[in-house]
Amino acid sequence: MRRLFLLLSMVGWSLAACHMSEANAPGRVASLDDVTNGFIEATPAPNPTAGVFYNDGTDGDVRARTENYFASDLSKVVGFDNFGPLDGNSASTQPTAPTPVERLLIQKGEVRVEVARPDDVARDFQAKIKAWGGYLQNQVGTTLVLRLPAPKFDEAFAAAKELGRVLVESRAANDVTEEYVDLGLRLDTAKKSRDRLLEVLKKAEKVEDILRVEAELRRLGEEIERMEGRIKFLQDQVAMATLQVAFQATSTPPPPPKRSRQWSRFGWINRVGAEQMLRGEF
Amino acid sequence: MRSVRTALWALLACLAACATPPLTLPKDFVALGDRGDGYRAITADDARLRVRTLDEATEGGIEFWSDALANDCVQQRGYQLVERGEIADREGKAGRWLEFTANVDGERVGLLVAVWVRERWMGKPCLQVAEFAARSEVFAARLPAVKASLATMH
């Protein structure tokens, strides 16, 4: 009786195992809908966190992919080498508290300054930005649009304000962390779908199927290019801040000299000055 | 007789040296000569340049004198100090320049003053002062050439 029970149990386990592996059996060709909808993983890597839900409501699998994406791609962003959202235990099955993430910020600023010699000041400021690793993006008169490494943004903003009387100043930081991560995940999925479609294309025999797959590949290719372009744009915007500085000539003359002027006790100084040079015959 | 002739030659040499312009004039400037109040030059748009040697009994280095001038111009006359810096003359002697904007009769003007402390006879110091002044727009346009010219001072 006991032997019969053991035998039945083994048969039952074998059947269950066969059923589970059927979907990924080497001989099975995935349908086009399966592939394009991304329902089937080509070679699903064992992920111990899959199916585990975290306190923040994210699925363990999604979370692991998100963090892997950060680890692989985000560190390439200039100026964000110390970006470290990953904890070493992300593969752990134990739910962990969300790690604080350094934000990806696009920094922009505008300064309008009144100076005595706008041309000279603009030229000197541009040289300073160049020395900091920045460059001139656009110039109209003495209004400069400058791009500079994000870590230097605060210093440049303060330096611009010190050049004269500040008329206008504003700055903003746009957080693009969520968009960047989302794009990364969507790009990852799209690339996997494209790989699977290529596999399907190899095995497709009917002309109709081939055409359908090729059309889908074209669509995916365009989508991938669009997403890669957007990611590059975001990386550039985060790495290089934008600073618009307008240098404006001082419109009003300085106040006239005080009526109760005290003469200098040094005689030669009293003989020097704009009034002595410009009033009367020279 | 021979010593008198030597003395006369020396005197002529001195006079010739005195008549030599103290700097190479910037483009567009015309020398007006020296009427006893310094070497003067002017442009058609009324930019004015003057170089003088002024006596000052008080001992003081170049830093002291440039600070004294800046303080007086800013605090007593209401000038705005735009920029200041060092300049070397033809022989490499270090001086200081100061650039101001000022209000002269309601008009905005620019003023550049360059100062050197020179040794005179018997070791007594004096100040060589170059001034350049003009209306604001003219001043800005001519400033680079004038600064270059000041480096030829002697």
The type of residue at A150 is A
- Compare CB distances from A266 to B56, B80, B110 and report the shortest one's residue: B56
Global ipTM: 0.84
The answer to whether position A25 is within a domain reads no
Q: Which of B95, B82, B88 is nearest to B139 (CA)?
A: B82
Residue of A nearest to B98 (CA): A273
Question: Is A138 a member of any domain?
Answer: yes
Strand B39-42 relative to strand A143-149: parallel, antiparallel, unpaired? unpaired
DSSP state letter for A114: E
pLDDT value of position A77: 46
Q: Which residues of B touch A263 (CB under 8 A)?
A: 76
Quote the pLDDT of residue B36: 81
pLDDT tens readout for residues B62-106? 999 999 999 999 989 989 888 899 999 999 999 999 999 998 888
Domain that holds residue A147: 104-251
Distance of alpha carbon A112 from the chain centroid: 28
User: A119 to chain B: which residues are within 8 Å by CB?
Assistant: 140
For B21-59, the pLDDT digits (tens) are 889 999 999 999 888 888 999 999 999 999 999 988 778
Residue A43 lies in a domain: no
Please, are residues B119 and B55 in contact by the beta-carbon 8 Å criterion?
A: no
Domain definitions of chain B by residue range: 21-150
| Structural domain contains residue A136 | yes
Q: Exposed (0-12), middle (13-18) or buried (19+): which is A184, by Cβ within 10 Å?
A: buried
Please write the tens of the pLDDT for every residue from B122-140: 777 889 999 999 998 899 8
DSSP string, chain B: -HHHHHHHHHHHHHHHHHHS-SSPPPTT-EEEEESSS-EEEE-TT--EEEEEEEE--S---HHHHHHHHHHIIIIIT--EEEEEEEEE-TT--EEEEEEEEEEETTEEEEEEEEEEEEE-GGG-EEEEEEEEEEEHHHHHHHHHHHHHHHTT--
**Could you tell me how many CB contacts below 8 A there are between chain A and chain B?**
97
CATH number (1.10.10.10, 3.40.50.1100, 3.40.1000.10, 3.40.50.2300) of B21-150 reads: 3.40.1000.10
A32 belongs to a structural domain: no
Residue A157 within any structural domain of the chain: yes
| Contacts A273 to B, Cβ<8 Å | 73, 77, 102, 111
Alpha-carbon distances, residue A43 vs A25, A46, A192 (angstroms): 11, 9, 10
| pLDDT in the model for residue B2 | 60
**Which pLDDT score is estimated for B21?**
80
Q: Report the 10 Å Cβ neighbour count for A105.
A: 17
- Sheet containing B107-119: give its strands across: B30-34, B39-42, B48-55, B125-135, B107-119, B94-104, B80-88
Counting the structural domains of chain A, the total is 1
In-domain check, residue A195: yes
Low-confidence residues in chain A, pLDDT < 50 = 1, 7, 11-12, 14-67, 69-93
CB A28 within 8 A of CB A17: no
Q: Do B131 and A272 touch (CB under 8 A)?
A: yes
| DSSP structural state of residue A164 | S
Task: Tell me which DSSP letter residue A272 carries.
Answer: -
Distances (CA, A) of B26 to B29, B42, B43, B47: 6, 10, 10, 11
